[in-house]
Chains A and B, each alone.
Chain A
Amino acid sequence: MPELGKYAVAVYGSYISTLVLMAALVVFVVWRNAKARRTLEQIEGVKKHG
């Protein structure tokens, strides 16, 4: 691990907040797409099979 010295809070703070926000963004986008696909399949299924 690199020695960050007196700037550890700044560097760790930046990286941790970035990773948390990016992970939340990826989860949100993927979850939204999966939800949209399920909803559309459901509606198209009802339409096809009455």
Chain B
Amino acid sequence: MSLWQYANPVKFLNLSGKVLPALSVLTVICLVTGLYWGYFVTPDDYKQGSTVKIIYIHVPSALIAINAWFMMLVAALIWLIRRHHVSALAAKAASHVGVVMTLIALITGAFWGQPMWGTWWAWDPRLTSFLILFLFYLGYIALWSAIEDPDTAADLTSVLCIVGSVFAVLSRYAVNFWNQGLHQGATLSLDKEENISDVFYFPLLFCIAGFVLLFLVLTLVGTRAEIRNRRARALVARERG
């Protein structure tokens, strides 16, 4: 059995239709558990007070914002190399989720930054690269809408995706590259000394799992919509032709 069989739209629709109900339930369980645990059960941080509760939405949304772009990059490369329509349509569907997650990360970051840094915004390497990533998402979505021929749109957006990947990498590693600015380094670490306290860590893991599952569910539903739209356009074009 090959993974490429799911590049067939009918097989993709069948499989995604089967897994979506279970994935949706799991998403709700993880999100509700993580957010309830983080918001209502965990204590305030000794330095950051109650603002530490923002970590449960800021970190998972930022993580999805960056990794959604990497998923789009893989899908774009598959489209460019193997010309599977489903992969191009999956990238398009993921961009809608990615842009909202990037916006959430920017807004929650501003709300967190104001009391902690004394400013809503700073032209810090990580913040700036994240803003540019947000603009790339908007450009990517606009490019899909601007071009009528779906194959040309998929080609050009794939190229834009490859270029934008530089900023996705910068958003993740800007702190390490420049070692300056207000934003701290990675929140999660395999090093026990550097990692956040367990009391915040475990509910955060649930929230991250919930956001990852939400991304998966919405991308699958969005891809199903794109496949149907493409099929509808093809049928109409065939009728006219």
- A interface list, Cβ under 8 A from B: 1-11, 13-15, 17-18, 21-22, 24-26, 28-30, 32-33, 35-37, 39-40, 43-44, 47
From the candidates B39, B51, B96, B104, name the one contacting A29 in the complex (CB within 8 A). B96
A43 with B50: CB separation less than 8 A? no
Contact-residue bracket for chain B: 35 or more
B 226-240 contacts with A by CB, 8 A = 226, 228-229, 231-232, 235-236, 239
- B interface list, Cβ under 8 A from A: 39-40, 49-51, 53-54, 57-58, 61, 93, 96-97, 100, 103-104, 107-108, 111-112, 114-115, 214, 218, 221-222, 224-226, 228-229, 231-232, 235-236, 239
Grouping DSSP codes into helix (H, G, I), strand (E, B) and loop, the A interface class, with mixed when no group exceeds half, is: helix
B108 with A17: CB separation less than 8 A? yes
Grouping DSSP codes into helix (H, G, I), strand (E, B) and loop, the B interface class, with mixed when no group exceeds half, is: helix
A29 with B221: CB separation less than 8 A? yes
A26–B229 alpha-carbon span in the complex (Å):
18
B108 with A26: CB separation less than 8 A? no
A10 with B225: CB separation less than 8 A? no
From the candidates B54, B103, B235, name the one contacting A44 in the complex (CB within 8 A). B235
A43 with B235: CB separation less than 8 A? yes
